[in-house]
Amino acid sequence: MDETMVTQMLSLSVLVGLVPIVSLFGLFYSAAVDENFPQGCTSSSSLCFYSLLLPVTIPVYVFFHLWSWMGIKLFRHN
């Protein structure tokens, strides 16, 4: 296997694992430290709802986008 391919796959796997973990720790840190952290933001018209939604949604989107890309790349049948 080419060395650049191994490096690229290693960096991809690190990215896929690291982004959700860092986002989760950041969310927990904000919830523990910030006194003004939103409590019960359930209304979709409020800004605090989206401040919680985006940090959770983006890593999930990135993970599944990369997962499908790797599936297409590795399991392509000619």
Residue 20 host element (H or E): helix 3-33
* Residue 7: predicted pLDDT: 61
3 assigned to some structural domain: no
Task: Give the CA distances from residue 69 to residues 7, 22, 29, 77, in Å, rounded to whole numbers and listed in that order.
Answer: 17, 22, 31, 14
Q: Is the pTM of this model over 0.75?
A: no
Q: Total structural domains in the chain? A: 1
Residue 18 within any structural domain of the chain: yes
* Domain presence at residue 2: no
Write out pLDDT tens, residues 8-65.
666 777 777 787 788 888 878 877 787 776 666 767 777 777 777 788 888 888 888 8
Query: Could you tell me if residue 4 is inside a domain?
Result: no
- Domain boundaries, position 28: 10-74
What are 24-37's pLDDT values in tens digits?
A: 888 788 777 877 76
